[in-house]
Structure 1
């Protein structure tokens, strides 16, 4: 049955015209998030006293997004740092969640793909209540596509410059006549020879799932995904720059040889059961296991040769990184009346165990330097064989996380909500380092912490929500820093945030605008304390670092007309070191500033549909202000634009898109003086032919 539709005030009356079709815009129809699970239970975003954004697969398709880096421009307060890492409200953040659980199959240096992702949920600020230890900037949760009740088949053929070619297909629907069992099958392949010299990539994804309706309101979903990414000469560092941020050579320059590679093979398996018990109780439980192996051989740039500023020194690295993890989670909600007020009680627990091993051997002598102006490749063909004669140094990291939380959302009145919750976490970390089976160091640490979150939501009308919240986060200190000789053990790094904001879904969802202002303080950051005498030759550490992040964000999604949509976001952030010791530096900071943390970031995208010819034109852009690299070098501001045309063909649809229209040379982020800045992509063309049945 069709969902009942309340017409906007400016909609033409239908009573005088008989039957008619009411056309709604894309923001109302496709981009609007009625619910999000970023708080572990389904909830209206208007009831959450914290800034969040939800980006769904409809926007992925409209923008031709391929991987996570393609959607950052839609998220205020988030900008690119390196590989899959981002700067989030001023802080570096590398952690991602899948369906609310730990277990990222794209370990280390591969970027999450969007082929099998239904939506991306972004919770901004400390999220310790629901997700446990993590950065106070926020979290990104990838929600997987699940089997659907409605049968459909989608096929996409892809092409473009840089030898881009690919094909994907996905099918879903019921297995039996009663729809008790539904399925989803998908496959993705894409090959590309990027603009960096010698590089090439091949990405494969196989995805499948089955859902079984077990009872009234209950469903069990089983999913499996296999990833195989082979990246030739694509374990990329940056291109060297001067202190003013100017590239010293073409952005096509690459320190890697043609024989270098990164190969990621990983699998993720998960099961999730969700049910409702009556109308007021819900319960879900999930288990997720992933197993990944990343093998890489590459040439690492080590800065300019002091004797010849045209030569970049290199070393050869041979690394194997097997990682596997297992997580469990369970959540329950109950709506009850107490003293005439409705309470939504929410409780949950999670458990995670991960083993992360790095086998690394580094060849530092006899590796040929590479010219910036006239690089000659192929002179280092024996580096891999010489490195194979070295012993691996093995770093074995074990991570265990256990946590439980409780939250109550109280409807004080029809317009006023009070939210409060707490979480208890217990963690254990251990790191063992050995070379040739001889252990050189072993450190472990365990502790626990309690975090809190509270907020007040005022809704003068259903489509307007004002809120104020206070939330906490924590991060365990690295196990290597817990050495008793260094003064350990140490309490975790803590973070807390005060945030206020306004959310709207005016004009029946045609105008969705969010405003948030925040202040985050991060404390207990370890540094060497020069006032203390070293013990057994080990410098003494002390939790004497503090960072303060302040800013505000604006997000706007609106249907200017039913055929014309506009999305705009702006983020202002000022992150500074507010506590330290003279002569000491906090990780990822230079002076009193944080690396790759822009003060200003703007993103926009607008799309106009011409129904008469079944064609849409779109235009978008991004601006990121000046930043600094980890070495204090300037990362220049940049502004880039893209455009697309989408044409319906009756039996199919074709998308033609160009990114970086004006072929601007820019740095997407800064890294170090030895490795340079990460260049942004030059002008890129993409074509997609889409079939939907």
Structure 2
């Protein structure tokens, strides 16, 4: 492991040096490792005739751990690829949520997924998210984002029943290329990035990818400044016919001034009490994330019926924060917000391993696709925190006066750090069989065994195991239409602190069971993809205090008596209206309610019988029209999110926003001009608490990208 890490660290250093030398030479930017696009007859323009016919389409997905046709997976899923990232100017994960039905923003990297809050992410099918705490995943080195909806316990082990997001990394390629991008916009946004791929040797046995990204801006919130740096490198080695070993290394450095960024206070009807630029943080407050990830993956085919892959991923991240936390209005003064000062350091490192094997075998005249695999994960998470609660100057909503926070920093430094040291271990093995009863009728069944251990050093520890199942049936009346039914499960271990015998522990995990039915299509040679899914998820064993039982050693007795039911349906449409006009539309309806509890007790993230930031209706669309004769593409998108409630029960008002862009081919380059929130709508992207307010959405924002491709 140390040897691999050393080699990968050397690669990423070379990448940064190479990027530094490339940027001045080419003016810098963003490359995609997607297959080269066909060039329009009579020119080398980047905007090409016929591009719309490719849609933003991926014919296979690895969201089930091995490559599979989406029509053969008995659960709803979506794949967002790098072409859509580029066309929409997407920078981080929050920029793509509008493309995913059933998903909406909650806070930072957290989302609401089919009614449930979820903040877990996977990279190339493995645990190990380098964006810990309050940082959002970046897309610069991501080829596509795969979203599996509903319980995903069979393949990914413990997790929320709403679904999972898997980020698939860009890979080295034999195709030689360099793409650079120079970025500018309002709020003093400037950026430059470069990516290169190609062969190391003449035969392409060894290929590489190098990339570097830098962007800086001063967002609309007062005192804020964001600087992001990414260095990424990969090396692939063809080890045998059909086999490849890929080594990758990535470093991230996010420096966010006047963060951790909370919301803006509102009244109970969801109206902001002041300008959305208001910020509880002083100019000297900050959040700084430094992380690195190293990964080695080997994949091979054995004949035309067997595939095998294995991967190991290590990441280490440190997030340092010094910030002023809003604590609601000062009693008796509707203009002053109380604050406290927090000094926190999060150190997280994790090591994961995953392996998968699939084989097609014929038994009794039926083809079986047997798939098996195992994964292992070990994480250490240490939080050092000290909080200064007394003597911190309140801040006015109407006329905030910011001063240096040196006094608060000095006073907090006299306090001791409180350390929380958490150790997490996950081990799992699964087996699935996909049986082709006929060419049109498939049965799918799988089982997984997990063993897990959670320990808070000097506090509590707990270990247990669980079984997860998934079954499904798929009927294809024609090769491009798939009707399916499925039942899938998930589980989440209870927190280690809740397993104490004094509170009634240990307790079995929280479970999630989903019944889902739907139809997927890939009509007209893929020019029309329309999917419909309806689901019902029941989440059980949620711990609550039972007031009918007397306390033990001064602690309330917990019991797994909470239950939540999520019901809804989703529609996704992707189509070529004409050879030059593409349209993407998604709609999600969700109704999540508490269906089992006891009077006077609350379930986490719920208010009454409803869940925070869970909209009943969410609509997103994107359409792009190309005019080949002038090498120009016009695009427009939008999003509507219905009324929600915050964690404090305050209304989060519905909103509808629109974006637009123009992409012009210049022969030697491509220029994109984009405007977000065209009508400068003031809205809340999500609600949080009455003390820290709602998260305001981005006001009207302009972005320009000049893209060079060599």
Structure 1's 379 and 32: CA in aligned 2 closer, same or farther, altered over 3 A?
closer
Partner residue of 1:601? 618
Partner residue of 1:506? 523
Instruction: String of CA shifts for 1:9-30, please: whole Å, max 9, x gaps.
Output: xxxxxxxxxxxxxx98545425
Matches within 5 A, 1:311-350: 311-350=336-375
Task: Tell me by how many angstroms 1:538 deviates.
Answer: 0.4
Instruction: String of CA shifts for 1:563-612, please: whole Å, max 9, x gaps.
Output: 00000000000000000010000000000000000000000010000000
Q: Could you state the TM-score of these two structures normalised by the residue count of structure 2? A: 0.93
Contact 1:644–1:657 under 8 Å retained in 2 = yes
Structure 1's 663 and 249: CA in aligned 2 closer, same or farther, altered over 3 A?
same
Task: Tell me by how many angstroms 1:149 deviates.
Answer: 1.5
Equivalent-residue separation in structure 2 for 1:260 and 1:58 (angstroms): 37
Q: Which of residues 135, 146, 165 is equivalent to 1:140?
A: 165
Q: Which of residues 123, 141, 163 is equivalent to 1:116?
A: 141
Instruction: String of CA shifts for 1:412-438, please: whole Å, max 9, x gaps.
Output: 000011000000000000113xxxxxx
Q: Which of residues 236, 253, 259 is equivalent to 1:211?
A: 236
Q: Which of residues 389, 397, 402 is equivalent to 1:377?
A: 402
Partner residue of 2:7? none
Contact 1:26–1:559 under 8 Å retained in 2 = no
Equivalent-residue separation in structure 2 for 1:189 and 1:367 (angstroms): 35
Equivalent-residue separation in structure 1 for 2:174 and 2:515 (angstroms): 42
Greater CA deviation, 560-569 or 24-33?
Answer: 24-33
Equivalent-residue separation in structure 2 for 1:352 and 1:665 (angstroms): 43
Task: Tell me by how many angstroms 1:462 deviates.
Answer: 1.0
Partner residue of 2:696? 679
Partner residue of 1:572? 589
Instruction: String of CA shifts for 1:59-102, please: whole Å, max 9, x gaps.
Output: 00011111000000000000000000000000000000000000
Partner residue of 1:652? 669
Equivalent-residue separation in structure 1 for 2:404 and 2:637 (angstroms): 43
Contact 1:431–1:479 under 8 Å retained in 2 = yes
Q: Which of residues 619, 627, 651 is equivalent to 1:610?
A: 627
Task: Tell me by how many angstroms 1:678 deviates.
Answer: 0.2
Q: Does 1:634 align with 2:651?
A: yes
Q: Which of residues 150, 154, 157 is equivalent to 1:125?
A: 150
Matches within 5 A, 1:229-628: 229-378=254-403, 380-432=405-457, 442-628=459-645
Structure 1's 379 and 269: CA in aligned 2 closer, same or farther, altered over 3 A?
closer
Task: Tell me by how many angstroms 1:392 deviates.
Answer: 0.3
Equivalent-residue separation in structure 1 for 2:526 and 2:53 (angstroms): 5
Contact 1:201–1:234 under 8 Å retained in 2 = no
Q: Does 1:59 align with 2:76?
A: no
Contact 2:55–2:527 under 8 Å retained in 1 = no
Equivalent-residue separation in structure 1 for 2:481 and 2:177 (angstroms): 36
Partner residue of 2:25? none
Q: Does 1:152 align with 2:177?
A: yes
Partner residue of 1:663? 680
Task: Tell me by how many angstroms 1:56 deviates.
Answer: 0.3
Structure 1's 27 and 356: CA in aligned 2 closer, same or farther, altered over 3 A?
farther
Partner residue of 1:17? none
Equivalent-residue separation in structure 2 for 1:247 and 1:264 (angstroms): 30
**2:94 match: secondary structure:** helix
Contact 1:493–1:522 under 8 Å retained in 2 = yes
Gaps in structure 2 of 5+ consecutive residues: 1-34, 36-47
Equivalent-residue separation in structure 1 for 2:378 and 2:247 (angstroms): 21
Equivalent-residue separation in structure 2 for 1:654 and 1:330 (angstroms): 42
Equivalent-residue separation in structure 2 for 1:562 and 1:200 (angstroms): 42
**2:406 match: secondary structure:** coil
Instruction: String of CA shifts for 1:522-572, please: whole Å, max 9, x gaps.
Output: 000000011110000000000000000000000000000010000000000
Equivalent-residue separation in structure 1 for 2:597 and 2:397 (angstroms): 38
Partner residue of 1:194? 219
Q: Does 1:34 align with 2:59?
A: yes
Task: Tell me by how many angstroms 1:380 deviates.
Answer: 3.9
**1:31 match: secondary structure:** coil
Partner residue of 1:9? none
Structure 1's 26 and 472: CA in aligned 2 closer, same or farther, altered over 3 A?
farther
**1:141 match: secondary structure:** strand
Gaps in structure 1 of 5+ consecutive residues: 4-22, 433-438
Equivalent-residue separation in structure 2 for 1:185 and 1:683 (angstroms): 34
Structure 1's 419 and 79: CA in aligned 2 closer, same or farther, altered over 3 A?
same
Task: Tell me by how many angstroms 1:235 deviates.
Answer: 1.0
Equivalent-residue separation in structure 1 for 2:179 and 2:677 (angstroms): 28
Q: Could you state the TM-score of these two structures normalised by the residue count of structure 1? A: 0.95
Contact 1:172–1:184 under 8 Å retained in 2 = yes
Equivalent-residue separation in structure 2 for 1:379 and 1:182 (angstroms): 51
Contact 2:308–2:356 under 8 Å retained in 1 = yes
Equivalent-residue separation in structure 1 for 2:78 and 2:173 (angstroms): 24
Contact 1:25–1:565 under 8 Å retained in 2 = no
Matches within 5 A, 1:177-192: 177-192=202-217
**1:690 match: secondary structure:** strand
Task: Tell me by how many angstroms 1:307 deviates.
Answer: 2.3
Contact 1:25–1:510 under 8 Å retained in 2 = no
Contact 2:287–2:322 under 8 Å retained in 1 = yes
Equivalent-residue separation in structure 1 for 2:330 and 2:134 (angstroms): 27
Q: Which of residues 173, 181, 200 is equivalent to 1:175?
A: 200
Q: Which of residues 117, 126, 129 is equivalent to 1:92?
A: 117
Task: Tell me by how many angstroms 1:31 deviates.
Answer: 1.3
Equivalent-residue separation in structure 1 for 2:298 and 2:52 (angstroms): 31
Equivalent-residue separation in structure 1 for 2:138 and 2:466 (angstroms): 34
**1:251 match: secondary structure:** coil
Partner residue of 1:15? none
Task: Tell me by how many angstroms 1:496 deviates.
Answer: 0.5
Contact 1:27–1:509 under 8 Å retained in 2 = no
Contact 1:129–1:423 under 8 Å retained in 2 = yes
Equivalent-residue separation in structure 2 for 1:123 and 1:380 (angstroms): 44
Task: Tell me by how many angstroms 1:460 deviates.
Answer: 1.0
**2:660 match: secondary structure:** strand
Equivalent-residue separation in structure 2 for 1:569 and 1:168 (angstroms): 31
Structure 1's 25 and 599: CA in aligned 2 closer, same or farther, altered over 3 A?
farther
Equivalent-residue separation in structure 2 for 1:233 and 1:239 (angstroms): 14
